[in-house]
Structure 1
Amino acid sequence: MRIVSTFHPPSSVTDVVKCRLTSDRSLIHLVVAKSNRLDIYSVQPSGLSYECGAEIWGRIVVVKAIPTRGGKSNLLLLTDHPDPRLIFITYSTFSTGGRLNAVKTLSLYHHNSRPSEFLHTVLVDPTGSVAVINCYTGKFRVVELENGFYKNDFDVMVSELNILSLTFLPTSSDNYSIAILHQDHNQNLQLLAHNIVLSEYEMSPESTLLLPPTALSTSAVSPTDAPPCLVPVPPQRSNATEQLPGGVLVLGGRKVQFFELSSEEWQEKHREKQRKLENRQKSADQAKTKEKQKDREVKKRRPKSAVEWPWCEVTAWCPANDEGTKFFVGDSYGRLAVLSVESTVERGLIVIPLGEVSPPTALAYLDSQVLFIGSHFGDSQLIRIHTSPVSNLAAPTLPIPAGVSVVEPSAFSYSSKGKRRASTTDREGGGRVLASNGTYIEVLDTWQNVGPILDAVLADTDRSGQPRIFTTSGSMNAGSLRIIQSGADFQNTAVTENIGNFSKIWPLRSRFHDSYDTHILATNAQETVLFSLDQPDTLSVIPTEAMHFDVSPTLAASNIVRRLKNSGRTSYEDSSFIVQVTEDKVLLLEYDNVLQTHSFLASWSPDEQGGEWAGRKIVAAALNPSQFVLGMSRKRLVVLNLSENNEFQIFRYKDLREEISVLSCTPLDPTKSFSVYIAVAYWSIHAVDILSVASADGYLNPVCDSVSLPALPRSLLLHDFGYAPQILIGLRNGILVAYTFGKNVLEDERIFSLGTEPVGLTQFEMGEKRVVFASGSRAALLYAEKGITQHSSVLVKNVFASARINSPNWPSSLLLMTPAGGVIGTVRDYNKMHIRTVHLGLDNPRRLQHDVGLHAFAVACVRTEPGPVGEDRLSSSSLKLLDDKTFDVLCQFTCQNSEEITAIHMIPFSEGNSAICVGTVFLKPNEQEPSQGRLLLITVESGAVAGRQLKKSSEMNVNGCVYALTRVNGLLAASIGPSVSVYKVDAAGFQTVAQWNHNYLVTSLSARGSRLFVGDAICSVSVIDLIETEGGDVRLESIAKDFSPLWPMSIESLDQDTIIGANSDSNLFTYTVQRGETRTTLDRDGFYNLGDVVNKFIPAASGGTNVIALEPKLLFFTSSGRIGVIVDAGPELSLHLTALERNLSKVVTEIANASHAKHRAPVGTWGKSDADAAAYGFLDGDFLEKFLDFEHPSSETERILKGSISPEKLKQTYAEIKQSLEALQALH
């Protein structure tokens, strides 16, 4: 069984809407819709403040605001096919924050209806009385609304089938007219309107005269261009007496056109003509009359005003003022402009360029010249529009192609007498494009979006042992590489190379209760050194003769308190005492703050005790403010404290069962100066005991059963994260083990891997959280979240020792000992997703490979220069070599004209170097299927003058597009159109050794050993084997094939017999080769609806443990920016988790109460059917982890554990389930 969990949620924005969700008229909200989530932000003076969010089971298409009589708005959400839903959502505020509530869900599913091909949307009229949904061809769903809530709904038939855009016309509150832009059977674009008659539950079959039917000119909008959108323009007052009726903007195409609504006078005149025409039809010459009527219907009417649109396809717009006379408009390449419809009679439409932003999917004007840009192809942005340029003052605001009529800003200036200066371009109804310089945009905030992801690799470029994810992201003008890693953010503030290599370090203060540290005591196997923290950029060494500490290696050191006894009661007060423990003795020192020196006060040693103490060595030590615990040779454990005379005295001692290796006596309560427990680890038996310092049953006796460990403990820490005491055990082999210590029992074992070096532990505070820094080959931060011990990777490596320091020069910092010396820094954002962006702009990355030997990435890019709508755009493709640390472009190879790189693969070449195999396609305008491509072998050559260069070593012409490349048994396999070809590649070039021609369109390949797994985009998947004969010949032989209509988009092998993939319907699937007596088949044993299109699978880094049968297998990447992990669960655990998912689905739902089983059931192109089955072979990891959100015991956990009926009772305990889910959570 495979578990599907999310590492990085979808980040591309689908839609946004500005509204007021509360009765507070001064508070504006921004609603941001992503593919599966709705997020609410409030607009504050400092920016956007996140309020709340909710997961939606289904792909969100559109979100709209429904105005209510109280001034606030409710939300209306539309989800996508195959099961479209309309969800009514309200927003409530509580003392703990906001919350979204679904008050009504309306299913829009129609059996046997054809989904709308071009437009899937919902409209809400400005009064909030009616909503219209278009999601099926030839049919609207009309919903009546009352004060923001559902009232009634009905279907109306629509004769216009290929609808491109819809909008409500600005009419009186009693009339509801919808403008429709559609493509007719002659491929002409028609603009017309219909009335909705609520009383009759229908839409008028005849078009309304309010917007006369109009055929759009092909010179403005071509049927082959991206479809334009309709924008309503409310009525305007041009002067004190004249009222303009408003109309509709056709936004898109080569021109922006404004069609004015007809007046009542014109409508009455037209009706009179219609009546006369009907009378004529009664005459004998009916044929001529009908022909004249038909000519009138298709007549192309001139718009009231029009202006040339100088940039690319319009993708988003929003009103720029409440009057509806100005609009922000963005194109597909992020060119942002203001479109003004003020005074269309005098000036016409005016386009004012503002600058370049992320390619917008949706726009929302908030307030005070602040605009939100929601993007699918780039980062979402919060920008401010300035009235004057703020940068690039000498450059044009936006490039305007030659041939577009422009005017200078001075053309809109006025004289002191109020008359406008004449312009040579003035003409009635004509529009203008303003030519200006400088950028008017300031970016205030950015929300990173890693989608759409087309390719990805996992690489350890800094050799830290923590591989990072590298993706090809973005498109249009926002192409980029993204470097993604989850973990705590460690920010270096200083590197002290002179500190040397020390195995242990301790911070020291002037007095125990002081907040600042003044010194660092450091030790190695030879000596102890004292450093001062008085310098701002380095650690200064205190001379040996002045430090008064024992210079032999130190086992432990710490500030302590003074112990007092009054009337039999013990108390503790601040002191300047310091305890140092060496192999031979324990020293008490005191710090003189005036002289700034340490002085010796007292000591204790085993030899001074004589008798059986003599000859013993101190082998381990642990200190707390008042107790000094020593592990001595010959198995003796000793607890010392200070007498009232500041002398060391033995409080307790005991001989234990084995030689002691490491100790911990940290108080579980940080406000206490003593500990009632001591943790002890042993050398020979790899075990840990917890002993009681004061127990009714005897001193220093175990309080719980011992735990055995797989390796030698090298560090121990008793620690309370705030919800339960823990014991953390760092092992010699790089494993960290954590147990919950409660009710005198160790339970809830958790295991973390930190490489191969011994693990050290350092306790400190981050804000109000008590956290632990664990170091080894890799580093991690342990903390508590929702009552669960979590860990985040820290981006440092090979830490020998660590200590918390706090000084005026380095506040709240960590000092880490590494091979490079001492590193001082701070840890922030302990659970942050770190995303670094390498901007490539118009160079959109499509394919990515990393080579360890070259220390570089090979990136295949496609660059398309933006141009006006309808014109050919110059496109080129190149292969870039980027340094894997700096990401500088080292060199690049450019393809031929009309050639595009479609696949790349690194292959070993001569003298241990790698070469880059490149597959291309030639794109010819008149070809429906590519007929020509190339295989290129690119080598990296180093030159003394020019540096690295990419050189084409050899090439081979092929008959089709090279969709995928992979290595199989040392040979190169390529999918070329319908075939799979295998090549031997050497310095001589490509030599064909085998070919397979039994598919339609092979777009994906995966190899495992001698097996090739083939994904046919038109059919399904198949498995073929590469057979080498005794004579040295090679052939491809079919193993098994699936013949179902699956339409796979990407595939990857899980093992020699198992394949996983994703199809165009957003489903995940698995197939396994089954060998029978007579034939071998490919059986589907997994099918699951992910709700997202997966473009790439890559092998995951190993992160499983032997304790829980969970192993990460693959990472997957989607168009929306989701990064997920496929985790393999063992057979027994799979049964338990399947039962948990079943019971959990009866308790947990999304806000619209959708069924989880239905949500994850596989879907097909034609929607639901009675034969639909539930998902199988996969479990929803994100859903399973919701079990951890419930407190225990609680009514919810009881319902989940017991089930609805007796057979549904879970066989695992709460603790066992929690342990499994925490282990799953740690894998992503």
Structure 2
Amino acid sequence: MNEVFNLRPTIAVLYQDSKYAKHLSSYEIIVQSREKRMKEGPLKSRDLDIGSSLLIPLLDSGIIIVGEQTLMYIHPNSEIKSKFIIPIPTVFSSYTTINNNKHILADDYGRIFMLTLSNSYKDSNFMKISQIGITSIASVLVYLPNSYLFIGSHYGDSQLVNIPDCLVLQSFPNISPISDFCFVTREGRNEFIVTCSGAYKDGSLRILRYNVEMNKTLEISNLNGIYGIWGLYLQNEFEYTALVLSFVNETRILKVFHNILNEPEIEEWDNFAIPNAKLPTLVAKNVNNNLFCFISNKSICLIDWKSNLVLKEWIPTADDIITCACLDTEFASVSLTKGKIVVFSLKNMTIVEIGEYKFNYEVSCIDISNNALISVGLWIVPSIHILSIPSMELLLSHSLLGTVVPRSICIVSLASMNKPVILVGMGDGTLLSYGLDGLDKGTLPINLSKFITPIGMNVFAISDRSIIIYGSSGKLSFSSINLKEINCMSSFISSIFSSTIVVVSENIIKIGSIDSLQQLQIQTIPLGELPRRICYHDKQKVFGVLTIKLSLEASNGNEVQTSYLKILDVTSFDGILDSFQLELNECVQCITSVTIDNQDIFVVGTGFSLPEEEESSKGRIILFGVTNKKIWVFSEIQVNDAVYCIGIIDNKIIAGINALVHIYAYDSSLKNFNVIATYRSTTLCLSLAVHGTHVIIGDLMKSVSLLAFINTENGPRLKEVAKDCNPLWMTCVAALDNDLYIGAEAEGNLSLFWKDFNTTFEENKLQIISEIKWGELVNQIKPGTILYSENSIIIPKATFVTVDGSIGIIFTVKREYLEFLVNLQSNMGKIISGIGCLNHSNWRAFCNRRKKSNEPKCFIDGDFVEIFINLDDDIKQKVIDGVDGGIPLLLTVKENLFLKNIRE
């Protein structure tokens, strides 16, 4: 439908009749003093191109009808028509107008066309169309001044391009539509999410993780072999202007300055004489009075950088060597051979030995904290020890079980934490933090480096998977960083480079800043085809991705769909490791992983869509083995319908095949699979989820059923335990707990189901205890999140994704807080209006064609309730008082603590 330029406002309507023929009608809008009516307009045409989909209004009151094979111009004078045959038929999806003679069109394949009109429709070349570029598949086009074009895409990233060459100037990430997702788990924690995003040629995998992003402002390359780096300042402790670089056989120093053009530069500090320049430096730091202190394995040197003189130097005896060293602003401490620790005062421009301590074993790591404590790790008998300064009294000794040696240690006071934390980086990549359990962070030895940012002190744990350790809400928190192969790092606060840290990564010095310690990062892995389903195989460390590739036959322009199983490596995502093409007309539907007969298997369910059939009449369950990152067929099961969903229960395959649910067991002697249990769903088993020995079935039209896989005298069977009889068209289901299940239905609603196993009353009924309208079609729900909470009140349980690109998290709330939250949400809805004055209760109320509620039922909209924290005090008071028909709230200590936890 479109508005046509005319003396009277005219609406042109493109419509399809019951026989699928396309026609054009128009209606004039007549507005007179006492009359408002519509009458049939002059624009009309019948039996148009069957692929007609767009109308382009022109200033002469004419209109262009855009079809798949033709372009037709029609004028209000119905006798005036012009038809143009499109050289290559295609499906156009959107258009925008530059001027009356130039229009831009986009098709379903991401191609951009320029439609040019001459001044006379009688001209044989009145319409001319040509392809000018390829972009993301456009859902909407917006022409901007100065020859810019915005591509709004639902299937890929939106883009800003210039015309006429369609050069991409800027991309705007978009992860919709999300058809599936999976978690990548390490050491029992979901580390990140991988989504199947986009469609057709813009299909991709998106990796979402909470990460630290370093904004790099300068890089210095071709400096191989750096294993230590320290930032130094000359005058102001918040303005670092020198970098000390330690190599295997030398030490160099760089200086930052403004050149004559007032541009920042960095170069080697030639006229600064580094003591022991042909030796590696163990540590370098500013000490009191802005002096430089360098420690190598031969000496401790105190240097006045202004005069370039060594003020003091301490050298160990001939039979000693410095093995480890650390510095603070007033003290230095070194470990010598045979386990000897010596501490020095650096006050008054001197190096004075003030104490020592002797251990029975060699020292593996050492650190000074706040000029007050020395922490030490030992070889041979792995252990850590804390000494006081200056008394060198042993305050604490702790044996580390096992044979792994501590390689780095520090005591640090982090923001928002009441007490200092002892951090120990072990030789096997384990990070120990006292007061917490051991947390595996990598496989290489961990090196701990304290650094300062505007938000306070933090710790960089350098390993093969480097992380930043910081305090948040009174707890120790960890974030990975978007850099690879980090060798060393240091604070480097510099206004010249707007930086806070310097990092040596992949033999490149990188100077930059960290804006946030907990930021959601999105990485894109382009596939060029639709990613339909994904599964992570933890043992093989690979992803199995089911994709559908859409291509055009050169001879006739027909679309051809080809399905694949592809595997990618979890560590690098560098390209497809292997690919398996399925048969002609076979469409992939579902995937899971299992280990059978000591083989690591991806189990894939498919269905055949034959041209002569309206519904699938056959399918396959194919078991693919993965060995050395290669795919091979382990076995296959022929079935009589499409396999819509699949899972693993008791190491057996459970599959939803049309209305039937089968469980297949593997016979290792015969090398085949047998059906050992069957259940018939009401309409069609569209989704299933396994929780222990229970199976939750999502039916196409008849809501949710709960099954139990049991052993009887007659063998295994699937027994229906309970079901919900409401006519809900389910899209996906998941189990949140032993008796708690969630499902999404086709009209954008979420329902929470509960089975009371402790009573015989209505024993076959699943009770709907919570309902809410989410407003988007939910494609998948899976237990688990990448958020972790030590809060016992709000517990993250599951994650869901939608066709519009939303990722939502479902939490459970302790029962004693539920009534308060429901009343708080209801009261807020009566006081706060949404965009367009939408009422929150009405918007979030369960609604489909058969049922309309007044408000959400025992379901809390977390985004909405969080607003309460930042409301003005007078509005908060209205919410608490229950103004406009609400329920007055009593904010006790318990409720105030709860609101605090929501904010955190």
Instruction: Report the counterpart of residue 392 of structure 2 in structure 1.
Output: none
How many residue pairs were aligned? 818
Distance in 1 separating the partners of 2:294 and 2:623:
68
SS of 1:377's partner is coil
Alignment of 1:505-654 (within 5 A): 507-509=231-233, 515-519=240-244, 531-534=251-254, 546=276, 558-562=285-289, 575-576=290-291, 578=293, 589-592=302-305, 595=308, 598-600=310-312, 623-624=328-329, 642=347
Instruction: Report the counterpart of residue 467 of structure 1 in structure 2.
Output: 191
Counterpart residue identity of residue 312, structure 2: F
TM-score, structure 1 length as denominator? 0.58
Alignment of 1:141-180 (within 5 A): 166-172=1-7, 175-180=8-13
Distance in 1 separating the partners of 2:690 and 2:825:
33
Instruction: Report the counterpart of residue 328 of structure 1 in structure 2.
Output: 104
1:856 corresponds to 2:542: yes
- Is contact 1:560-1:579 (8 Å) kept? no
Instruction: Report the counterpart of residue 899 of structure 1 in structure 2.
Output: 586
Distance in 2 separating the partners of 1:198 and 1:788:
67
Instruction: Report the counterpart of residue 182 of structure 1 in structure 2.
Output: 15
Q: How far does residue 519 in structure 1 lie from its aligned partner after superposition?
A: 2.9
Change (3 A) 1:1081 1:333: same
The Cα offsets for residues 584-641 of structure 1, whole Å up to 9 and x where unpaired, read as xx9882335565x6441799xxxxxxxxxxxxxxx999945xx6699xxxxxxx9989
Change (3 A) 1:316 1:822: closer
Instruction: Tell me the percent identity.
Output: 22
Change (3 A) 1:1056 1:1163: same
Alignment of 1:1105-1124 (within 5 A): 1105-1124=789-808
Change (3 A) 1:959 1:1206: closer
SS of 2:888's partner is helix
Distance in 2 separating the partners of 1:1176 and 1:1062:
15
- Is contact 1:254-1:868 (8 Å) kept? no
Alignment of 1:677-756 (within 5 A): 717=412, 729=421
Change (3 A) 1:726 1:1156: farther
SS of 1:1220's partner is helix
Instruction: Report the counterpart of residue 717 of structure 2 in structure 1.
Output: 1035
The Cα offsets for residues 862-912 of structure 1, whole Å up to 9 and x where unpaired, read as 1222479996422222222333324422332222221111122222133x3
- The structure with higher relative contact order (CA 8 Å, sep 6+) is 1
- Is contact 2:659-2:685 (8 Å) kept? yes
Counterpart residue identity of residue 336, structure 1: I
1:195 corresponds to 2:28: yes
Residue 848 of structure 2, aligned match among 1156, 1160, 1164: 1164
- Is contact 1:735-1:755 (8 Å) kept? no
Q: How far does residue 981 in structure 1 lie from its aligned partner after superposition?
A: 0.6
Instruction: Report the counterpart of residue 57 of structure 2 in structure 1.
Output: 232
Distance in 1 separating the partners of 2:504 and 2:637:
54
Change (3 A) 1:735 1:1091: farther
Q: How far does residue 1178 in structure 1 lie from its aligned partner after superposition?
A: 2.6
Counterpart residue identity of residue 108, structure 2: S
- Is contact 1:333-1:866 (8 Å) kept? no
Counterpart residue identity of residue 857, structure 2: Y
Distance in 2 separating the partners of 1:600 and 1:1023:
79
Residue 962 of structure 1, aligned match among 643, 662, 669: 643
Q: How far does residue 970 in structure 1 lie from its aligned partner after superposition?
A: 1.0
Counterpart residue identity of residue 177, structure 1: T
Counterpart residue identity of residue 14, structure 2: L
Counterpart residue identity of residue 195, structure 2: T
Q: How far does residue 647 in structure 1 lie from its aligned partner after superposition?
A: 9.1
Q: How far does residue 1101 in structure 1 lie from its aligned partner after superposition?
A: 4.5
- Is contact 2:706-2:721 (8 Å) kept? yes
Q: How far does residue 259 in structure 1 lie from its aligned partner after superposition?
A: 0.7
Distance in 2 separating the partners of 1:664 and 1:1201:
48
- Is contact 1:1074-1:1080 (8 Å) kept? no
Alignment of 1:60-209 (within 5 A): 166-172=1-7, 175-184=8-17, 187-199=20-32, 204=37, 206-208=39-41
The Cα offsets for residues 798-845 of structure 1, whole Å up to 9 and x where unpaired, read as 999853147999994746799x9998664555355432222222x322
- Is contact 1:730-1:759 (8 Å) kept? no
Change (3 A) 1:1090 1:663: farther
1:248 corresponds to 2:81: no
1:215 corresponds to 2:64: no
SS of 1:517's partner is strand
SS of 1:1152's partner is helix
The Cα offsets for residues 178-199 of structure 1, whole Å up to 9 and x where unpaired, read as 2222234555433222222223
Change (3 A) 1:516 1:351: same
Distance in 1 separating the partners of 2:9 and 2:82:
23
Q: How far does residue 977 in structure 1 lie from its aligned partner after superposition?
A: 0.3
Distance in 1 separating the partners of 2:332 and 2:307:
31
Q: How far does residue 1135 in structure 1 lie from its aligned partner after superposition?
A: 4.9
Change (3 A) 1:1085 1:550: same
SS of 1:317's partner is strand
Counterpart residue identity of residue 447, structure 1: F
Instruction: Report the counterpart of residue 378 of structure 1 in structure 2.
Output: 156
Change (3 A) 1:205 1:1214: closer
Show structure 1 runs of 5+ residues with no match: 1-165, 236-245, 264-300, 387-439, 523-527, 563-574, 604-618, 631-637, 651-660, 667-677, 684-711, 739-749, 943-947, 1224-1228
- Is contact 1:813-1:826 (8 Å) kept? yes
- Is contact 2:345-2:351 (8 Å) kept? no
Distance in 2 separating the partners of 1:956 and 1:725:
57
- Is contact 1:1051-1:1062 (8 Å) kept? yes
The Cα offsets for residues 948-1000 of structure 1, whole Å up to 9 and x where unpaired, read as 65333332221111001100011000000011011013562321111111321
- Is contact 2:585-2:609 (8 Å) kept? yes
Instruction: Report the counterpart of residue 659 of structure 2 in structure 1.
Output: 978
1:457 corresponds to 2:203: no
SS of 2:132's partner is strand
Q: How far does residue 914 in structure 1 lie from its aligned partner after superposition?
A: 1.0
Alignment of 1:1040-1119 (within 5 A): 1040-1075=722-757, 1076-1078=759-761, 1079-1101=763-785, 1103-1119=787-803
- Is contact 2:179-2:802 (8 Å) kept? yes
Change (3 A) 1:534 1:193: closer
SS of 2:194's partner is strand
- Is contact 2:782-2:800 (8 Å) kept? yes
Residue 351 of structure 1, aligned match among 95, 110, 129: 129
- Is contact 2:620-2:636 (8 Å) kept? yes
Distance in 1 separating the partners of 2:515 and 2:76:
56
- Is contact 1:762-1:774 (8 Å) kept? yes
Change (3 A) 1:307 1:851: same
The Cα offsets for residues 127-176 of structure 1, whole Å up to 9 and x where unpaired, read as xxxxxxxxxxxxxxxxxxxxxxxxxxxxxxxxxxxxxxx2222112xx22
- Is contact 1:507-1:521 (8 Å) kept? no
- Is contact 1:494-1:825 (8 Å) kept? no
TM-score, structure 2 length as denominator? 0.77
Instruction: Report the counterpart of residue 1008 of structure 1 in structure 2.
Output: 691
Q: How far does residue 730 in structure 1 lie from its aligned partner after superposition?
A: 5.6
Distance in 2 separating the partners of 1:1099 and 1:962:
22
Distance in 1 separating the partners of 2:139 and 2:775:
20
- Is contact 1:622-1:665 (8 Å) kept? no
Q: How far does residue 1187 in structure 1 lie from its aligned partner after superposition?
A: 3.8
Distance in 1 separating the partners of 2:835 and 2:420:
39
- Is contact 2:251-2:280 (8 Å) kept? no
- Is contact 1:1020-1:1042 (8 Å) kept? yes
Instruction: Report the counterpart of residue 340 of structure 2 in structure 1.
Output: none
- Is contact 2:622-2:635 (8 Å) kept? yes
Counterpart residue identity of residue 642, structure 2: C
Counterpart residue identity of residue 1109, structure 1: I
Q: Please tell me the root mean square deviation across aligned C-alpha atoms, in Å.
A: 5.1
Q: How far does residue 487 in structure 1 lie from its aligned partner after superposition?
A: 1.9
SS of 2:835's partner is coil
- Is contact 2:587-2:607 (8 Å) kept? yes
- Is contact 2:817-2:895 (8 Å) kept? no
